[in-house]
Structure 1
Amino acid sequence: MVLDSDNELRETIDRQPKAQRIIATLLSYIFHPIFVPIYVIYFLLYTEPFLFYGTTEDGRLMVLLQGIVNYTFFPLVSVLLLRGLKFISSIKLKDRKDRIIPFIICNIWYFWIWYVWRGLEGMPREMVIFAMGVFMASSIGLLLNIYMKVSMHSIALGTAVSFLCLLGFEYGQGMGIYIIIALLIAGLVCTARLLLSDHTAREVYFGLAAGLAGLLIANMVAG
């Protein structure tokens, strides 16, 4: 066990089997917070019974590209610029204080895409709710970051799983398999974060709770 910069005990990963560490690291990258919203948007655009934003391929592709730009490209470039300007010590944001500015900047992009989509003619209600859910969950994460290094991975996955559960109430049993898969992925990724000693269990649980709370707030406000 070692003390981190916030004086919290974390287990070192030296004793973890190498294969286990590789798998945990791979899961952490594949389901990184900058990718999770894109997976959900793609699911909404190209999976039955949704096929949102009309039925045209160009319309769906445009929405997907808008999501990639605001949820992946801009946040990634922002973090790289912050590292280049030495505002943060690492692009991996291992220190709680390093996460403050990225949280704020990402919230700007998240708010912007929600604001655009909510006023876009033909944009489905579910897409607007999800966009606002991401913004609200990230905002709650920013507040939690004052007290702990809350897991960004669990915030993203908590939002995604909660959103799929919301769709389950609306679309019925057809969503069951997707919810099960999402829960399995969330469990594996959260376990991976613990195995890599990047977070304590409390930070992971609070991240999941932030995702759930953000989606519930969005459903009440934007729904």
Structure 2
Amino acid sequence: MVNGVARIVSFLFHPLLLATYLFGLFAFTLPQAFSPLKEDGHLKFVLLIFCVTFLLPALNIGLFKAFGAIKTYTMDDRRDRVIPFVFMAVLYCAITYLFYTRTRIGIHDNLLKFLLIIDVLVVVATVVTMFYKVSVHAMGAWGIVGILLPLNKVVEDGTLFYPMLASIVVAGVVMTSRLQLNAHTPREVMIGSILGLVTSFGCIVLLF
């Protein structure tokens, strides 16, 4: 029963879904995050993000498994993670580059800055994975916390306060779930959490 709940949590808060959740949250609480997109295009953008940051990578992971590049979908062996992670890092960065070159999004626009933060998180996870296995679930969950914590300080109407608190609770639940499933050691979960929090918090401070 407990393991079943832990698996559901791990699926619902899969790292590939977190970009969708972040922009979905912004669509209802922080529309200026989509600048310079018009408001009627926010939900369409969230759907696009879901397709290119979840569906496309998930499809390619399926192909990697079919062709024997990885042993399992969960990629329990660190070495199995290297090729898929490099692919995802290249894909995420390429998507951001296409947005920058093919749309009206400029280097000073909020939307590009958030896309860059997500890219940095993916690249950091990829580089670290080449040497050490960390919990990318924990890294992604705390990466969201690292984004919302400083933003909550600058958003005057307080719309991000409760989402920020919820994100901290979710991050804790995700860490517990990964430990419950024996998917990671406490050290791997802790390192992933610290990496996610420090990376995203630092990017927010640097870019904003």
Same fold (TM over 0.5): yes
| Higher radius of gyration, 1 or 2 | 1
Q: Return 5+ residue gaps in structure 2 as ranges.
A: none
Q: Which residue of 2 aligns with 1:5?
A: none
Q: Which residue of 2 aligns with 1:50?
A: 31
**In terms of mean alpha carbon deviation, does 122-131 or 183-192 score higher?**
122-131
Q: Which residue of 1 aligns with 2:195?
A: 210
Name the SS of the counterpart of 2:160 in structure 1.
helix
Q: What stretches of structure 1 move > 6 A for 4+ residues in a row?
A: none
Shift of 1:114: 2.1
Shift of 1:220: 5.5
RMSD value, Cα? 2.1
Q: Which residue of 2 aligns with 1:200?
A: 185
1:51-70 equivalences under 5 Å are 52=34, 53-56=37-40, 59-70=41-52
| Distance (Å, rounded) in 1 between the aligned partners of 2:47 and 2:200 | 23
Shift of 1:49: 4.3
| Distance (Å, rounded) in 2 between the aligned partners of 1:197 and 1:221 | 36
Shift of 1:222: 4.4
| Distance (Å, rounded) in 2 between the aligned partners of 1:111 and 1:158 | 21
Name the SS of the counterpart of 1:35 in structure 2.
helix
* 1:71-125 alpha-carbon deviations (Å, 9 max, x no partner): 1011101111111110110111111111001110110121122223345326883
Normalising by structure 1, what TM-score? 0.82
Number of equivalent positions: 202
- C-alpha distance 90-30 of structure 1, shift in aligned 2 (>3 A): same
| Distance (Å, rounded) in 2 between the aligned partners of 1:156 and 1:30 | 12
Q: Which residue of 2 aligns with 1:31?
A: 13
- C-alpha distance 25-122 of structure 1, shift in aligned 2 (>3 A): same
Question: Are the aligned partners of 1:137 and 1:211 in contact in 2 as well (CA < 8 Å)?
Answer: yes
1:64-143 equivalences under 5 Å are 64-119=46-101, 120-121=103-104, 125-143=109-127
Shift of 1:63: 1.1
Normalising by structure 2, what TM-score? 0.88
| Distance (Å, rounded) in 1 between the aligned partners of 2:162 and 2:44 | 28
| Distance (Å, rounded) in 1 between the aligned partners of 2:190 and 2:110 | 25
